[in-house]
Structure formats: structure tokens, C-alpha cells
Amino acid sequence: LSEFEAIVGHCVDEAQLVTKGAQLMQELDLGALLVTRGEHGMTLLRPDQQALHLPARAREVFDVTGAGDTVISTLAAAI
């Protein structure tokens, strides 16, 4: 979320995240945008579709190193 907010500005709630994400998708002509949100899970945005919020499954975490790499690797494998 911090990288996303560095681009679009601070989001006070999920509705603002969706609005700013939709604007970014339109500006960059993206077919989809996945925003990772730490303990809040992930939000998948697609044009003309409702935002899909994927909750996190809470676990005790000691080190988040590589978490982003894990997300992108899993997403790439699923495509």
C-alpha cells in the first residue's frame, strides 16, 4: 500500500483506494491493478467491475522480506 500511496496520495478508506486506483488505471491504460495492503490483504481492481477485496489470513510474521516477490510470483504462475 505504501508504494501505491506514494503514487496516488494517502487513502483514508477502501472507497478512496478504489477511486484513486481506478483513476490510475485509466491514466496508465491498465487492464487490472492489484494493490497489496499488508494485514488487510489485497484489492484487485478491473475496469467496469466491482473491486475484489481478498482478505489476509493472519499469522505471526517475523520478517516480511520477500513478501512482494511472493505475491508477484504467485500471480504470474496463476496467469
Q: Where are the alpha helices (DSSP H) in the chain?
A: 2-8, 14-28, 67-78
Domain extent for 24: 2-78
Given the residues 29, 48, 63, 69, select the one marked as catalytic: 69
Closest by Cα among 42, 64, 37, 61 to 53: 42
Judged against a pLDDT cut of 70, whether residue 64 lies above it is answered with no
29 part of the active site:
no
Closest by Cα among 70, 9, 60, 12 to 36: 70
Q: Per-residue confidence at 63, pLDDT binned at 50, 70, 90?
A: low
Judged against a pLDDT cut of 70, whether residue 37 lies above it is answered with yes
pTM: 0.80
Count how many domains the chain has: 1
